[in-house]
Amino acid sequence: MSETRTHCPYCALQCAMTLSVDDDGPAGTAPTVSVAGAWFPTNRGRLCRKGATAAQLLGNRPDRLTAPLIRDSRESDLRETSWDEALDLVASRITALQRRHGPDAVGVFGSGSLTNEKAYTLGKFARTALRTSRIDYNGRFCMASAAKAATEVFGLDRGLPFPLTDLDEACTVVLFGSNVADTMPPFVQHLQRARDLGGLIVVDPRRSNTAQLTDGGAGHHIAPASGGDLPLLLSLAHVLLAEGLADERYLGRRTTGLEDFRRSVADWWPERAQAVCGVSALRIRWLARHLAAAARAAKAGGDPVVILTGRGVEQHRDGTDTAKAAISLALLLGLPGTGHGGYGTITGQGNGQGGREMGQKADQLPGLRSITDPADRETVAGRWGTTAEALPGAGVPATQLLHTLGTDRGVKALLVHGANVVVSAPDVLHVEQRLRALDLLVVCDFFRSETAAMADVVLPVLQWAEEDGTMTNLEGRVLRRRRAVTGPAGARSELWVLAELARRLGSTVPLAEQPEEVFAEIRRVTAGGRADYSGLDWDRCSEVAAYWPLRESLAEPLTEPLTRESAAETTTTGEPVLGTPRVFTDRFAHPDGRAHLGPITVREAQPASTHGLTLTTGRLMEHYQSGTQTRRVEELLDVHPEATVSVHPATAAQRGLAEGGRAELRSATGSARARVVLDAGLRTDTVFMPFHFAGAGAANRLTAGLLDPQSQMPEFKSTPVDLHPVGVGEDA
Ligand SMILES: Nc1nc2c(c(=O)[nH]1)N[C@H]1C(S)=C(S)[C@@H](COP(=O)(O)OP(=O)(O)OC[C@H]3O[C@@H](n4cnc5c(=O)[nH]c(N)nc54)[C@H](O)[C@@H]3O)O[C@H]1N2
Ligand SMILES: Nc1nc2c(c(=O)[nH]1)N[C@H]1C(S)=C(S)[C@@H](COP(=O)(O)OP(=O)(O)OC[C@H]3O[C@@H](n4cnc5c(=O)[nH]c(N)nc54)[C@H](O)[C@@H]3O)O[C@H]1N2
Ligand code: SF4
Ligand SMILES: [Mo]
């Protein structure tokens, strides 16, 4: 029996767990997960149901992809083939397409599920072997708005700019559009003090499980209309400024742009906001004053005040402005970088943080460098052994990439690594149609996802505990994901697949195949970048708390790899801390050291009540994302076997719907069917669907792909819909 300490395959909390493996035969066995001790302070030995059942998906299951699959023609079924045949086919088709249409004829779609090593290699593969600009990833659907907002205001995109354990001390925590009770259950431990003090404030149009944590005097639930958050936030800022409650001294010392911001919130008096966000003016004033008092107390030696945002407020057409407004609120309160609290965004995917700094984003190079910045291009090209002229420019963001596949403006071939886009992208009926128009679709996965089922070539890869790698969690802490079992014989490591393809494409820039080698390269290439990983140590990741930026002079040999700026610091659990656990303590990341406030305008304020019904979407505790993984775990599927739509009982009665009945939803782009769940905790003007299901139950048949102009994040949380019962016999 062997025991391996590793981290969960799913969300950004990256809970620590121990895998106990009885007999690791060559085909791999499903290990038992034991809950790890308190050595990892982020989950302190707790797991959610998904993490606790994750090991069932390892090894040689009948539904596991164990050989490459190809299709002889569009009409024929996928059939098994050899790795040589599959890779030669992919390389020759890519070469032919690029010869005809140029390098940008081939696109790459990456993921926040990939380890740092894979995400980095994917970006390098696209830019050096494919020489295409057309790479983007599913983080565009997830973190793009918050990332853009933090980059603009703070000068740096690190989701939580402080360790999660800092929350343990907070007396007030405001969650804007985040349902951690379901999406990261062990996170809730860190809210205990705030709840004990009555200081948890949850802003959500649903009485989510997280909103219910405020019951019994533990805090307050505020339910704006879906999409009403921006006016709400601007109005909170208005009250702070109008009533002299903002921390003018802090603003003067640590920010610029206050006057522009002040002007833009000047006419967001609470009565006006109330009409568009559905939260009463009284409540808006109360919340602003309450936060100001808590912040003042914090700075007088009391407990910290923290403002956090999740996808509920970010996945909107105005998501960047909303995240900026939340950051601006924290700045008005004088919190970020003071040790008295601050702002953070709760990153979602397992490597949602590392995935957004390794260079798989259309406009990005590793280390959070910019592909349009001449100096950044020089640096990265030099370290890759190529020239800046040879690197492509910025590509197109994920939704445009998918919605133009096979058109004159779009790519003719697409390689997908770690996403199930026919379930999770906006307007999936359109995506499906575009995928069919491709000359070549290649999907790398370990299961036959709905997207893999449409591919011309499917390449089976190793997953999670079958391979080594590093992940960067929601705190910017870099963790080791260790190999615990042997994967199925026919599956290969994704790093090997990319290196082989590069070789077959005749690339002169070599790609490393071993995770540890790639990690060493990441250290070299990110050195001096904003997300600097150069001082990390492969063997000690996870044993120490190592947060980027973690610098190491490139010129010096790494004889003493882990002596860092703040090595003296320790977390509450006494682990040695390296790098930068708290990023904005002395200064913000802009060259002037200040946070940049600026004007924020509401583009399309609609009255909350004349909307008709608004669909919002999100997550259930038992399922993960497009469901490729969790829909295969019996005990998770049993709890939630099919798509549901939550409806307020009054709304249901009005539309002739009953609990357990079938409903059809219609939007401008399509229709979807789901089982009705009555939920008296929902606003009457809002319905909620999880997006974990495929086929007729896919929530994304209804979302339109309207984009935030600043981040190109699609609108997932606010879609006008119609809702009616499905007649008997109508539901085939
Ligand atoms: N069980 C589970 N956990 C997960 C995942 C999963 O798929 N399943 N995915 C992971 C990933 S990638 C991510 S990004 C995170 C996401 O984690 P969260 O952000 O917590 O997840 P969501 O359910 O998308 O949205 C959160 C809440 O926003 C609310 N909401 C919807 N519209 C609005 C609105 O207009 N305004 C406000 N204020 N709130 C709104 C929803 O009702 C919901 O309760 O979860 C991670 N963890
Ligand atoms: N309506 C609606 N839609 C949404 C959202 C929403 O709230 N509402 N949320 C959005 C968000 S936040 C996100 S993050 C996306 C996520 O949605 P997707 O991008 O579809 O992510 P997953 O479902 O995690 O897809 C991962 C796929 O990759 C495979 N996979 C996992 N790890 C690896 C790996 O290392 N290599 C390879 N090759 N494959 C791997 C899995 O088996 C699975 O098939 O969905 C977005 N879509
Ligand atoms: S909360 Fe996230 S990381 Fe922790 S066990 Fe659940 S899915 Fe895994
Ligand atoms: Mo996400």
- Which pLDDT does position 557 carry in this prediction? 38
Mean pLDDT calculated for residue range 50-77:
92
| Ligand 2 pocket test, candidate residues 65, 141, 496, most atoms within 8 A of CB | 141
Which atom of ligand 2 lies closest to the CA of 112? 14
Position 572 pLDDT exceeds 80: no
DSSP 290-310: HHHHHHHHHHTT---EEEEE-
Q: How confident is the model at residue 564 (pLDDT cuts 50, 70, 90)?
A: very low
Kindly give the distance from the C-alpha atom of residue 265 to the centroid of ligand 3, in angstroms, as a whole number: 39
Mean pLDDT calculated for residue range 57-68:
91
**What are 391-401's pLDDT values in tens digits?**
999 999 999 99
Kindly give the distance from the C-alpha atom of residue 214 to the centroid of ligand 1, in angstroms, as a whole number: 17
| Ligand 3 pocket test, candidate residues 6, 7, 10, most atoms within 8 A of CB | 10
For the chain, give the number of residues. 732
Residue 120 dihedral angles phi and psi, to the nearest 5°? -65, -45
Closest residue by CA, ligand 3 atom 6:
48
Query: Does the beta carbon of 349 lie inside 6 Å of ligand 2?
Result: yes
**What are 113-137's pLDDT values in tens digits?**
999 999 999 999 999 999 999 999 9
Ligand of minimum distance to the alpha carbon of 619: 1
Mean pLDDT calculated for residue range 320-346:
97
**What are 611-620's pLDDT values in tens digits?**
589 999 999 9
Position 35 pLDDT exceeds 90: no
CA distance linking residue 473 with residue 159, whole number of Å = 9
Q: Name the residue type at position 283.
A: R
- Which pLDDT does position 226 carry in this prediction? 84
DSSP 608-660: SGGG-EEEEEE--TT--TTSTTGGGSHHHHHHS-S-EEEE-HHHHHHTT--TT
| Ligand 2 pocket test, candidate residues 58, 118, 420, 646, most atoms within 8 A of CB | 420
Kindly give the distance from the C-alpha atom of residue 663 to the centroid of ligand 1, in angstroms, as a whole number: 23
Residue 177 DSSP code: S
**What are 330-342's pLDDT values in tens digits?**
999 999 999 999 9
CA distance linking residue 627 with residue 704, whole number of Å = 21
| Ligand 2 pocket test, candidate residues 345, 402, 626, most atoms within 8 A of CB | 626
| Interstrand relation of 2-7 and 16-21 (parallel, antiparallel or unpaired) | antiparallel
| Ligand 2 pocket test, candidate residues 143, 446, 630, most atoms within 8 A of CB | 446
Position 34 pLDDT exceeds 90: no
In 3-state terms the chain splits into helix, strand, coil percentages (rounded to 5) of 35, 20, 45
Instruction: Please state, in angstroms and as integers, the Cα–Cα distance from residue 364 to each residue in 177, 319, 344, 401, 563, following that order.
Output: 27, 20, 22, 16, 29
- How many CA within 13 A on the CB side of residue 57? 27
Kindly give the distance from the C-alpha atom of residue 313 to the centroid of ligand 1, in angstroms, as a whole number: 9
The residue among 479, 495, 583 whose CA lies nearest residue 537 is 479
Position 16 pLDDT exceeds 50: yes
- Select the more confidently predicted residue: 542 or 96: 96
Topology at the third CATH level for domain 613-725: Barwin-like endoglucanases (2.40.40)
Tell me the three-class secondary structure of 87-110, residue by residue: HHHHHHHHHHHHHHHCHHHEEEEE
Q: How confident is the model at residue 568 (pLDDT cuts 50, 70, 90)?
A: very low
- Which pLDDT does position 728 carry in this prediction? 62
Residue ranges, comma separated, of all CATH 3.40.50.740 domains in the chain are 69-142+351-463+490-513
Kindly give the distance from the C-alpha atom of residue 316 to the centroid of ligand 1, in angstroms, as a whole number: 12
Which atom of ligand 3 lies closest to the CA of 186? 1
b/e map 482-505, b = 16+ CB within 10 Å: bbbbbbbeebbbbbbbbbbbbebb
Query: Does the beta carbon of 628 lie inside 6 Å of ligand 2?
Result: yes
- Per the CB < 8 A criterion, the answer to whether 12 and 350 are in contact is yes
- Which residues fall inside 5 Å of ion ligand 4, going by CB? 142, 348-349
Ligand of minimum distance to the alpha carbon of 616: 1
Closest residue by CA, ligand 1 atom 29:
312
Which atom of ligand 2 lies closest to the CA of 699? 1
Query: Does the beta carbon of 714 lie inside 6 Å of ligand 2?
Result: no
- Select the more confidently predicted residue: 581 or 26: 581
Kindly give the distance from the C-alpha atom of residue 350 to the centroid of ligand 4, in angstroms, as a whole number: 9
Position 702 pLDDT exceeds 80: yes
Task: Give all strands (DSSP E) within 177-277, no chain letters.
Answer: 200-203, 219-222, 255-256
- Which pLDDT does position 560 carry in this prediction? 38
Kindly give the distance from the C-alpha atom of residue 11 to the centroid of ligand 1, in angstroms, as a whole number: 12
**What are 637-654's pLDDT values in tens digits?**
999 999 999 999 999 999
Q: What is the CATH number of domain 69-142+351-463+490-513?
A: 3.40.50.740
Mention every residue, 6+ apart, whose C-beta is less than 8 A from residue 36. 5, 15, 16, 17, 18, 43, 45
Q: What is the CATH number of domain 2-57?
A: 2.20.25.90
Helix (H, G, I), strand (E, B) or coil at 464: helix
Positive or negative, the CA dihedral 77, 83, 87, 88 is negative
Ligand of minimum distance to the alpha carbon of 51: 3
Closest residue by CA, ligand 1 atom 46:
348
Residue ranges, comma separated, of all CATH 3.40.228.10 domains in the chain are 152-274+299-346+554-604
Ligand of minimum distance to the alpha carbon of 423: 2
CA distance linking residue 109 with residue 455, whole number of Å = 14
Residue ranges, comma separated, of all CATH 2.40.40.20 domains in the chain are 613-725
**What are 449-508's pLDDT values in tens digits?**
999 999 999 999 999 999 999 999 999 999 999 999 989 999 999 999 999 999 999 999
| Ligand 1 pocket test, candidate residues 141, 183, 203, 648, most atoms within 8 A of CB | 183
The residue among 262, 329, 245 whose CA lies nearest residue 599 is 262
Task: Give all strands (DSSP E) within 252-398, no chain letters.
Answer: 255-256, 305-309, 341-345, 364-365, 369-370
Which atom of ligand 1 lies closest to the CA of 347? 14
| Interstrand relation of 172-176 and 305-309 (parallel, antiparallel or unpaired) | parallel
Mean pLDDT calculated for residue range 514-528:
96
- Select the more confidently predicted residue: 549 or 249: 249
The CA-based dihedral angle spanning residues 605, 609, 611, 617, taken in that order and rounded to the nearest 10 degrees: 90
Which atom of ligand 2 lies closest to the CA of 459? 38
Residue 236 DSSP code: H
Query: Does the beta carbon of 121 lie inside 6 Å of ligand 2?
Result: no
Tokens 């998906």 — which residue? Answer: 57
Positive or negative, the CA dihedral 444, 450, 456, 458 is positive
Which atom of ligand 1 lies closest to the CA of 203? 38
- Per the CB < 8 A criterion, the answer to whether 444 and 497 are in contact is yes
Position 32 pLDDT exceeds 90: no
Chain centroid to CA 341: how far? Answer: 23
Mean pLDDT calculated for residue range 702-720:
95
- Which pLDDT does position 555 carry in this prediction? 39
Position 522 pLDDT exceeds 80: yes
CA distance linking residue 291 with residue 282, whole number of Å = 14
Find the residues whose C-beta lies inside 6 A of ligand 3: 8, 10-11, 13-15, 43, 47-48, 50-51, 184-186
The architecture of the domain spanning 152-274+299-346+554-604 is 3-Layer(aba) Sandwich (3.40)
CA distance linking residue 229 with residue 99, whole number of Å = 49
**What are 132-183's pLDDT values in tens digits?**
999 999 999 999 999 999 999 999 999 999 999 999 999 999 999 999 999 9
- Which pLDDT does position 559 carry in this prediction? 36
Position 2 pLDDT exceeds 90: no
- Per the CB < 8 A criterion, the answer to whether 525 and 366 are in contact is yes
Closest residue by CA, ligand 2 atom 33:
418
| Ligand 2 pocket test, candidate residues 183, 423, 445, most atoms within 8 A of CB | 445
- Which pLDDT does position 326 carry in this prediction? 98
Mention every residue, 6+ apart, whose C-beta is less than 8 A from residue 494. 114, 118, 121, 417, 444, 461, 462
Q: How confident is the model at residue 545 (pLDDT cuts 50, 70, 90)?
A: confident
CA angle (81 as vertex; 76, 86 as ends), nearest 5? 95
Supply 517's token pair: 């080698």
- Which pLDDT does position 27 carry in this prediction? 53
- Per the CB < 8 A criterion, the answer to whether 12 and 352 are in contact is yes
Residue ranges, comma separated, of all CATH 2.20.25.90 domains in the chain are 2-57
Mean pLDDT calculated for residue range 348-361:
97
Find the residues whose C-beta lies inside 6 A of ligand 1: 11, 142, 176-180, 182-184, 203-206, 208, 224, 226-227, 229, 310-313, 348-349, 616, 618-619, 621, 623-625, 688, 717-718
Mean model confidence pLDDT for the chain: 93
The strand pairing partners of 617, in sequence order, are 689
Closest residue by CA, ligand 2 atom 18:
419
Tokens 């004889």 — which residue? Answer: 559
Contacts 24+ apart (CB under 8 A), 503-510: 504/87, 504/88, 504/90, 504/91, 505/91, 505/94, 505/95, 505/129, 505/130, 507/128, 507/129, 508/386, 509/124, 509/128, 509/129, 509/384, 509/385, 509/386
